[in-house]
Amino acid sequence: MGCDQSTYCRCLYYSANALARILTRMGEEEFAPVGLPPSYAFLLMNVNAHPGSTPTEVSHHMMLAPSTVTRLVEKMEDAGYLRRKREGKEIHIFPTAKSRRLDPKIKSCWRALHDRYVKLLGKEASARLTADVFEAALALEP
Amino acid sequence: MGCDQSTYCRCLYYSANALARILTRMGEEEFAPVGLPPSYAFLLMNVNAHPGSTPTEVSHHMMLAPSTVTRLVEKMEDAGYLRRKREGKEIHIFPTAKSRRLDPKIKSCWRALHDRYVKLLGKEASARLTADVFEAALALEP
DNA sequence: GAAGCATAATTGTATATACAACTAACATTC
DNA sequence: GAATGTTAGTTGTATATACAATTATGCTTC
């Protein structure tokens, strides 16, 4: 697949998007046991680890736009996993018992996802790639 | 931003998606002069280079699902950039004059995008990263 | 040459995400 | 203490993308 014309595969926009799509699909498969798409599971994991975070904080942690966090939190509140508390102009997000109970399962799916790509890429190579990709994201961030 | 908890940034799902989102935004900015989002511009570039491709071929080149290609081509046909010709059970996609005329501009925006991230990451590092990311995408592809 | 299988493309519907515009609360300054 | 600016969050709307189901065509085999 791809790259017989030797131009696309030298484009980081193209390659990074291709990789992200593949990992998103893998993530959806591996997170199926928790009954939530990976982005929601990540949000719960984040709030479980940092109860009382504000949307702004979450958006920094997860490198997402604030409006995206609003959307995700909204749905998880409707589904009974999170609770929002207004305090002045800030909002604090808290996990419910339901979210806490799910935490071990989320973490085990997360490990399964990790193991799956490590098996295909190799332990060393995948660790290096992940670090390089993350570093590039930081360097390019506006 | 991100990664003060030292867990997320070791997750390729998370890092790859973060990088892809940043590059998508950069792409949107750099491709603004052609008046099309980068994914459409890429499609035109591909069809200009390979007139008569089938959607299946394009979906392989661009590493996209066939249904996504249908959607993209549809819009570009409506906008007068592409033309579909049925031949038996296959479809062949051709550029119109409008698409061919746009080609140099698309390529110059593409170069601008390239230059922009190279400036931030360095020539060597970005070439290596792009190659590694692309190779990983191939290795993980189902 | 009809019945069933295989392949190509499309459509209906859903997720993930963002930007720009807006609202609400707070801070500053005169 | 009213006018102005600033920050936090939300909402309206749009893009990018996919999966599963469907349609349309062609291929095989008996």
Share of chain A above pLDDT 90, in %: 89
Do A58 and A47 touch, CB atoms closer than 8 A? Answer: yes
- Please tell me the predicted confidence (pLDDT) of residue B45: 94
What residues does each domain of chain B span? 30-140
pLDDT of residue B10: 84
A·B CB contacts under 8 A: 177
Q: Is residue B2 pLDDT above 50, yes or no?
A: no
CA A27 centroid distance within chain: 9
pLDDT at A68 over 90: yes
Task: Give the amino acid at B127.
Answer: A
Tell me which chain A residues have a C-beta less than 8 angstroms from the C-beta of B17.
Answer: 20, 23-24
| Rg over CA atoms, chain A | 17
pLDDT at B93 over 60: yes
Cβ A73 to strand D below 7 Å:
yes
Mean pLDDT score, A35-54? 94
| Average per-residue pLDDT for chain A | 91
Report the distance separating Cα B3 and Cα A3, nearest Å: 33
Q: Is B17 exposed, middle or buried (0-12, 13-18, 19+ CB in 10 A)?
A: buried
Q: CA A31 – C1' C22 distance (Å)?
A: 36
Q: Are residues A54 and A64 in contact, defined by beta-carbon separation less than 8 angstroms?
A: no
Closest to B2 in 3D by CA, of B16, B13, B24, B18: B18
CATH number assigned to the domain covering A29-140: 1.10.10.10
The pair of structure tokens assigned to A63 is 């490198």
Q: What is the mean pLDDT of chain B?
A: 91
Question: Is the pLDDT score of B4 beyond 60?
Answer: no
- State how far the Cα of A45 lies from the Cα of A85, in Å rounded to an integer: 19
* pLDDT for the residue numbered A131: 94
DSSP output for A68-100: HHHHHHHHHHHTTSEEEEEETTEEEEEE-HHHH
Q: Given pLDDT bands bounded at 50, 70 and 90, which one contains residue A1?
A: very low
pLDDT value at residue A27: 92
The fold of the B30-140 domain, in CATH, is: Arc Repressor Mutant, subunit A (1.10.10)
pLDDT (0 to 100) of residue B91? 95
Local confidence band at B6 (pLDDT 50, 70, 90 cut-offs): low
3-state secondary structure (DSSP) of residue B93: strand
Give Rg (Cα) of chain B.
Answer: 17
Chain A's closest residue to B2, CA to CA, is A61
| Nucleic strand D within 7 A of Cβ A85 | no
* CB-strand contact B60/C, under 7 Å: no
A4 pLDDT higher than 60: no
- Is the pLDDT at A5 greater than 60? The verdict is no
Over residues A87-142, the pLDDT tens digits come to: 999 999 999 999 999 999 999 999 999 999 999 999 999 999 999 999 999 999 86
B91 DSSP β-pair partners: B86
Predicted local confidence at residue A6, as pLDDT: 52
Q: Provide mean pLDDT across the span B19-48.
A: 93
pLDDT at B59: 95
Name the nucleotide with the smallest C1'–CA separation from A70. D10
Q: What is the pLDDT of residue B141?
A: 82
Give the nearest chain A residue to B19 (CA atoms).
Answer: A137
